[in-house]
Amino acid sequence: MEAVEMNSVSLKRPHSEDDVASADEIKRQKILEKSKAGSDSGQSIETVTEQLKDIKSEMIPNDESEEQEEEDLGDSDEDGDPESFADMMKHGLTESDVGITKFVSSHKGFSGILKERYSDFVVHEIGKDGRVSHLDDFSVPVDDEVNFEDPSEETFTVLSDEDKQRLEELQLFKNKEASVAIEVIEDTKEKRTIIHQAVKSLFPGLETKTEDRDGKKYIIAYHAAGKKALANPRKHSWPKSRGSYCHFVLYKENKDTMDAINVLSKFLRVKPNIFSYMGTKDKRAITVQEIAVLRITAQRLAHLNKCLMNFKLGNFSYKNHPLKLGELQGNHFTVVLRNITGTDDQIEQAMHSLREIGFINYYGMQRFGTTAVPTYQIGRAILQNNWTEVMDLILKPRPGAEKGYLVKCREEWAKTKDPAAALKKLPVKRCVEGQLLRGLLNYQSYVWNNMVSKRIEEYGLRAVPGDLILKGATAVHIEEGDVDNYTIHDVVMPLPGFDVIYPKHKIGEAYKEMLVADNLDINNMRHKIRDYSLSGAYRKIIIRPQNVNWEVVAYDDPKIPLFTTDLDKLEGKPLPLLPVDGKFRALKMEFSLPPSTYATMAIREVLKMDTSIKNQTQLNTTWLR
């Protein structure tokens, strides 16, 4: 699965600084007292966690909803000119910083631009049955049983914005009203039926009835089962013959999966946790994946196609089960590398090598963030119980892709170690727990990358005695007499967290040396705080992609698409005519990968070049500005 950039942070602006000023001052004083209670490396996790949580929660007013729309505050410094992303990335990480140093192919490398346009990177999910997800059908399934959850098109427009606001507040018990009355302007049975349908389908949990008041007819909306209705609001009107989950294919552009789910839940007025999926997908890409949602009809979902930008929903079906993370078989990638410099012979060698040998299964650059203080250092400090360093790494100044207010916040922390003073520079919410846990995962990834580079350097592309292979869920060593039975594609290496034992292998000592240098014991990676214990896993060292195809195309205009997407095909858009001899050449490649592998690492093997954003900005900075 192509991993999502994990270095971004959700930003929320308080409703009003004046409204919470006095409460803020009290909280700041409490934080100040806590922060001065102890600052040596023996500080406990409880103390640090409380400080960090106070830092996070101090900026959130009590009435702020978890579903409040996130606000992009921009990348510019309030007191200066905006700094381009390319300029900030001069300080970013490179591949060698995170242990990515080796190649397995022998061809000469060449340059090309990855993701010059987000539509140059397309991901189609492969389900556990091996079927590739495509958006190719907008039709809605028809039930034998019709009910109020199957709204007509007029349902979505019959209620005014004011009516919808009042009904939503009633549904969520946000006001003291026991009911909401909606006057029927055109008093016909058909009109009343449409209003009944609209309320019940758009606001699950509410019931309706018709009343006469002063010679006028009103539709009265009310809660039939009180707050219990919110636990399973659609149960009362969902046909028993229909599966409880509506499965659909989500086509999205330039949006990550969780952002997409949040948008859908906002428009449907439901909580995001009723959606399920098998894997997260890139933001800067076009992606196609299966989603399941509990008791929302295909009709309501299909209506969103008329409301949303950069999303399309289709291929609807009803099933009795949700989706689970990790159930997918992998992803199929279609990638365009623009402005390539390689000769036809170099490209043929590179692609044949990718198909026959594969690439080193490194954790890609997306795993480690973009700033000059990589998150794996936070993970290392946690494992060392060095909580002061944890706080410093999260809060200290760092060159790189930082917003102006974050720079000021970090500078204040470095100068005063006063969280209250630092918070005055920070008008947003920070997810501290996420940073800590990502740091742990990224430390594992950092160690594994370095160790797999060492393994390739020491033994090359062959299985050797002492290597590990998986038999079922168990790892066993290759014995001297069995080496010829295995290839490099069978070999796995452990992530830190297992007791790594290589009795006849140099890599075992290399693991120990690396962890000892970090003051860690390879035989005891369990942390006294259970959430921060590293669970081990095995990872193949070489991945050989499946379904590898490629072609070189010429083009003149860098803005035109070089292949048709699912949506293009549904809308009947033809591919633009490409010149035979264009000013530029592009390599269009397709391949399938298993979960938890990085397409960027396959592309790196083809190009033989650094895939970090820092390096890519030197090739092309237009889309990053």
Catalytic residues: 282
The angle at the Cα of 284, spanning 283 to 286, to the nearest 5 degrees, equals 85
The angle at the Cα of 144, spanning 140 to 147, to the nearest 5 degrees, equals 80
Four-residue CA torsion sign, 544, 449, 4, 324: positive
Q: How far apart are CA 29 and CA 18, in angstroms?
A: 18
Instruction: Answer yes or no: are the C-beta atoms of 515 and 526 closer than 8 Å.
Output: no
Kindly compute the dihedral angle of the four CA atoms of residues 313, 319, 322, 328, in this order, to the nearest 10 degrees: -70
Put the strands of the sheet holding 179-183 in their side by side order. 179-183, 216-223, 206-213
What's the burial of 176, exposed, middle or buried (CB within 10 Å: 0-12/13-18/19+)? exposed
- CB-based contacts of 34: which residues, under 8 Å, 6+ apart? 47, 50, 51, 54
Which tokens sit at 620?
């092309």
Kindly compute the dihedral angle of the four CA atoms of residues 359, 115, 351, 459, in this order, to the nearest 10 degrees: -20
Q: How far apart are CA 18 and CA 34, in angstroms?
A: 25
Q: How far apart are CA 196 and CA 217, in angstroms?
A: 13
Q: What type of residue sits at position 260?
A: A
CA nearest 319: which of 152, 567, 127? Answer: 127
Residue with token string 């209250």: 420
DSSP state for residue 334 in the 8-state scheme: E
Query: Cβ of 24: how many Cβ atoms within 10 Å?
Result: 18
Q: How far apart are CA 338 and CA 492, in angstroms?
A: 34
Which tokens sit at 313?
């929903």
CA nearest 408: which of 80, 4, 20? Answer: 80
| 216: β partners | 213
Q: How far apart are CA 417 and CA 391, in angstroms?
A: 10
Instruction: Answer yes or no: are the C-beta atoms of 541 and 455 closer than 8 Å.
Output: yes
Q: How far apart are CA 324 and CA 24, in angstroms?
A: 41
Q: How far apart are CA 531 and CA 49, in angstroms?
A: 13
CA nearest 548: which of 276, 388, 365, 332? Answer: 332
Tally of CA atoms within 13 A in the half-sphere of 469 that contains its CB:
17
Q: How far apart are CA 519 and CA 539, in angstroms?
A: 24
